[in-house]
Amino acid sequence: MTSDDLPESQHKRSLWIGVLFASLVVPIILIFIALISQARAPSLNNLLIGIGGIFVIATPISFLATTLLGLPFVLLLRALKILNWAYVCIGASFIGVLIDLLLVWLVSGELTKLSQGLLAACIGFVSGIAFCLGVLPNTSFKPNPLRGSA
């Protein structure tokens, strides 16, 4: 089978680029939240330690969540032929809440507060947007119409 025989993809880039974008946007958002929630500006040393700590902890967790939950969800949507940005972002919001619930329960043995769950949903939604921007839909993709259809 040659490359001419393969159907054209729905995406301009690999799904893995979307996974990378979605995984990196989470620690960036968490750093932004940490910076705006400070009462006073931290020293440069504390700032760098905090940014490094967030990246070291949040990036692997975000990558695992995106790879183990987000990517299979996108592949399922594609298999069902209902893949679009809205479903990806809604699913990413639910995955964000699920991961937040799991992490809070593992660390403290308690459930997530509503405000924290809403924040996790928003972070998941933005992560879904980053995924979509990472794969960039192929607007030149034109599926073959069924014979006899108008």
User: Are 4 and 109 a contacting pair, CB within 8 Å?
Assistant: no
**4 within some domain:** no
**89 within some domain:** yes
What would the pLDDT profile of 82-110 be if each residue is shown by its tens digit?
989 999 999 999 999 999 999 999 988 88
What would the pLDDT profile of 7-39 be if each residue is shown by its tens digit?
445 555 688 899 999 999 999 999 999 888 887
Structure tokens at 92: 């990413």
Structure tokens at 56: 């070291």
**68 within some domain:** yes
**58 within some domain:** yes
Name the residue among 55, 13, 2, 16 with its Cα closest to residue 32: 55
Full residue range of the structural domain in which residue 88 is found: 15-135
Please list the residues that pair with 124 across neighbouring strands: none
The number of distinct structural domains making up the chain is 1
**77 within some domain:** yes
**130 within some domain:** yes
Name the residue among 118, 30, 24, 126 with its Cα closest to residue 85: 126
Please list the residues that pair with 104 across neighbouring strands: none
Quote the pTM value.
0.78
**150 within some domain:** no
Please list the residues that pair with 137 across neighbouring strands: 11
**9 within some domain:** no
DSSP assigned state of 43: P
What would the pLDDT profile of 47-86 be if each residue is shown by its tens digit?
889 899 999 999 999 999 999 999 999 999 989 989 899 9
